[in-house]
Structure formats: C-alpha cells, structure tokens
Amino acid sequence: MAHLFNRNILLGVSGGIAAYKSAELVRQLQELGASVRVIMTRGAQEFITPLTLQALSGHPVHTDLLDAEAEQGMGHIELARWADLLLIAPATADILARLASGRADDLLTAAALATAAPRLLAPAMNQQMWRDPATTANVATLTARGMAFVGPASGEQACGDIGPGRLVEPAAIAEAAAALFEDGLLQGRRVVITAGPTREALDPVRYISNHSSGKMGYALAQAAVDAGARTTIVSGPVQLPAPDHTRVIAVESATQMLDRCLELLPECDIFIACAAVADYRPAATQAQKIKKGPEQISLQLVRNPDIVATVAAREQHPFTVGFAAETRDVVAYAREKLQRKGLDMIVANDVSDQSIGFNSDVNEAVVLWRDGEQALARTGKSTMARQIVQLIARHLDQGLPDRPGRDDSRK
C-alpha cells in the first residue's frame, strides 16, 4: 500500500481552472501520511483562495518570493530545504515554460531551482496548448533534467474542447507522489540502523548522554523501507514515532546497543551506525541516588565498546556504514576513521554548525568510501537519507570491497 508517512510535500499551485482540485489533492496527500505546505502563484489565487488551502493544510500558504516573516527573508530557501518532494499541480503551460527556461522570479520557480528534492509535475491546460511544439519541447527539457510527470489525462475540458490536457485526478497524483519514494533499490535486503543517543547511568536518576535527536537515523530507516529493505532500528531514547514497516528495539546504554546489534548480525546485509554512542561510561553505577556532599567529586569513566568497529571486525560482516560527527577537520578525521575501523562507507558532518547539528531538520555531509567521496548539499534529513541509501545501493550493485572476512554470497 502506498504511503507518504513522515514525508514533507511542498505543493505548488499555478494559475489554471484545475487549481480548484488542489484542495482535494491536499486532503489526499494528508491521508497518505504527508505533511503539506502550499505555494500559490498570483494566477492560482484568482481561482482558489489561499485561506482555503491554509485551512486544509494547517499551515500558512506562501505566495511571496521575499517574505519578511521568513527566516532571513529567504522563504524559498527554507521551503526548498524542508521539502522531500516538490509537487506542482496544476502545472500550466506557462509554469512549464518558466521552469524549462530556468526562471526564478516568483516563489514557486525559485523554490523549484533551490530544492534538492525530487520534482513531480501534473500538467493541466487546453489540449492544443499541450500539443503545441513549444510545450512538447519544454516537457522534454524538464524530463531530461530529472523532473517526473503524472498525466495529463484526456477528456472534456472546461473550454469545451476534448483531448489531452486535463489534470489527473488528485488520488492518482497522490499515488504517483508516493511511488517516487518506493524505488526498490534495496529490495529484499536486511538493514539494521542504530539511532539516537545512549544514556550511561550514574545512579538511578542521573546519566551521561548527548544531544542526539535520532532524526537522521529514523530518516535513514524510512528511506531503507522505501527502497524495499526489511529494516530494524536499534534505538536509544528518542521522542520520535517509529517509521511504518520498521521494527524498533529500544535500548539505553552503549553495551545494550552493542549486544542487540550483535544478535541481529546473522540476519543483516547492511549495518548503518548512525547513533551518537557515548564514548565513555561511569566505571561504577551507584545503586542509590548520589547525595549532595563535598564541593567537588571525581567521576571515573571507562571506554565504551566501539559498536561500528566491532561489527566491521566480525569475520562475516555486513556492508558497514559509520557516521562521523566532527567539529573540525571533518573530512580528514572521517577518512582516518573509515580506514582505522575497516568500514565500507562513512558519513561525516560538522556538528559545530548549529543549523545542521543535533536536533536540526536539515543536514549537510560528505560521504566517503575507500576510493572516493561525495558531498551532499544542505537539505532536509529525509532527502539526505535517500541520497545515502542510493549511494549504498550503488556500491552494492558494483560489488562489495575486497576485505578479509567479506562474505559476498548474500549479494
């Protein structure tokens, strides 16, 4: 069954009579589980009011390229980063032409250029406009640039003509949007992902931890599910709903997380260590609450096990992906960890940047492997998760690196 759970859909409504169907489209997208925000062109506002779509979506409708109320007045950038998909419905002949020529002089076209998310267009126009060579050329140009189309349908049009150019029904558009996230890249693979922080107990009420929200790990789990994988999350304490079709195993400490991961390895093809595991834990956990006493006390810490290195060192180990949260020399430190821990791939990001660090909904990273690397531009964590999954799938298709103990029989 198609779904859009945990997906952010940016709906662009351009100026055609079919704009009235955008109200039903918002409802259909929400029924599939999506969070929807709307951009309306000036022409679209002549056919349906922003207030209608605001009431249905639960969010203010965006209409202006330069928004004084947006962060830094750059509303198109904020929306572009938020979106997991830009869906334009209806997409008029005019908006197709403007997109094909790279225009960015209104909010919708600027967002279309600024987003790293997939773009899905649902054309709606007069049948002769759809058949015109200029429109045909624009559709070919946009398709070549990676934009997807749904429709148009054929039938009687508002002007009385009969032919292709009708907007596809909202339910079919929503299904097409959902299908973009179901790519089958990891069909049949078994994926284990660690996510969130660990908590290392000092006593029954206190612990050592970090600021990890688990958002990146849970986004990766959703991307793995959408790619067809059987996905298990070994999760530290987070305040996030489990993605649909995943199995979540809750843990607290690093040693608990390691134990659960090792239990899952016999049924694991891909291991992604996204959790922010505490490097140290108290040497002793007090059975009773530590009472206030002297002005200073000393706390003795011992090293926690390195989960991803332990997994990578197993004789029969899965394709192993680590994460490196650094505050300086990000790529250099990540490359060293990749080699020292024997990983297949590592994702490095700069957590000193508060806008992409812990608890943020966006991220920016560099993915490294033995003989290459790829920078991932700042975007929403869901979009980045799909990009990482695509890179993993590409490396699996090309054959696993030749490492001691590698078992390629599962390919």
Active site residue ranges: 159
Which one, of 165, 180, 193, lies nearest residue 83 by Cα? Answer: 180
CA-CA distances (angstroms) from residue 229 to 191, 197, 224, 374, 406? 6, 24, 5, 23, 21
**Nearest-CA neighbor of 53 among 86, 94, 4, 11?**
11
Q: One-letter amino acid identity for 303?
A: R
How far apart CA 19 and CA 387 sit, in angstroms, is 32
φ/ψ bin of 103: left (φ > 0), alpha (ψ from -120 to 50), beta (otherwise): beta
> Shortest CA distance to 90 belongs to which of 21, 159, 137?
21
3-class DSSP state of 84: coil
Q: Which residues have a Cβ under 8 Å from the Cβ of 357 and sit 6 or more positions away?
A: 211, 325, 349, 350, 351
The C-alpha atoms of residue 273 and residue 322 are separated, in whole angstroms, by: 5
Q: CB neighbours of 393 closer than 8 A, spacing ≥ 6?
A: 185, 186, 227
Q: Are 173 and 25 in contact (CB under 8 A)?
A: yes
* Cβ-contact 345, 392 below 8 angstroms: yes
- Token pair, residue 172, equals 């079919």
Residue by residue, DSSP assigns 295-329 as: S-----EEEPP-HHHHHHTSSSB-EEEEEEEESSS
